[in-house]
Amino acid sequence: MLKALMLKELHETAWIALVGLLAQLAFVDGFLPFWSTGSMGDFRYQIPFLGDNFLGAFGYVSVFLAVALGLRQTVWESRGGTWLFLLHRPASLRRVLAAKLLVGGGLYLLCGLIAILSYAAWAAMPGRHASPFRWWMTANAWAAWGLIAIVYLSAFLTGIRPARWFGTRLLPLVAGGTLALMLCFTLAWPPVGVAVFLLMAAGLVGLINFSAQSRDFS
């Protein structure tokens, strides 16, 4: 049953991930130099991941992707009346939520992984730019990739909460985004940042389960 639920989620959200991936490749620095050999412009004079706009563009696109996935998996189900159908299947609510989170979170992480590795692969090619490249330069990109997963969980919680949109429903998304941004300041202390990230992620998953269990889906 878990496999069937995951396939259903993948079928409904894969197009969002595809749009997000194309946006990553189209708007994040590295797309043009990675796919082109003659129209590189100023890219060859920038330091990949450090002296360019990669991190900012990557962050914006990733946030939009995370929010779109989280809300699509929750709000869309409410508007279409799909929750009742899912809850009448031979699967617990926890299993339904697990399937959604695994697929949505996995798609978000996969898109970011491809974007970072694509740009890093281009940057690692000899003669592509006038600066040296080391893989440690990608550290902040990987950190942002992980931190924005908090935004996905926050968007999921926002969509599943039984609150009014003009009331406090957006509070988890606002709070999650703010906390993820604050975590950026812990990048200089990786153990602290990882510990706080894990606590936040576990807390959000717990709140998602609590909100779902206490919500009337009828």
Instruction: Please give the pLDDT value at position 112.
Output: 94
pLDDT tens, position by position, 9-50: 899 899 999 999 988 887 665 444 444 443 334 555 567 778
pLDDT tens, position by position, 157-179: 988 887 666 567 777 788 887 77
Instruction: Please give the pLDDT value at position 39.
Output: 36
Instruction: Please give the pLDDT value at position 41.
Output: 42
* Amino acid sitting at position 95: R
* Cβ neighbourhood burial of 82 (10 Å; 0-12, 13-18, 19+): middle
Please state, in angstroms and rounded to a whole number, the distance separating the CA atoms of residues 176 and 180. 6
This prediction's pTM: 0.84
Residues of the chain with pLDDT under 70: 1-2, 27-46, 79-91, 127-130, 163-167, 183-190, 192-193, 216-218
Instruction: Please give the pLDDT value at position 132.
Output: 80
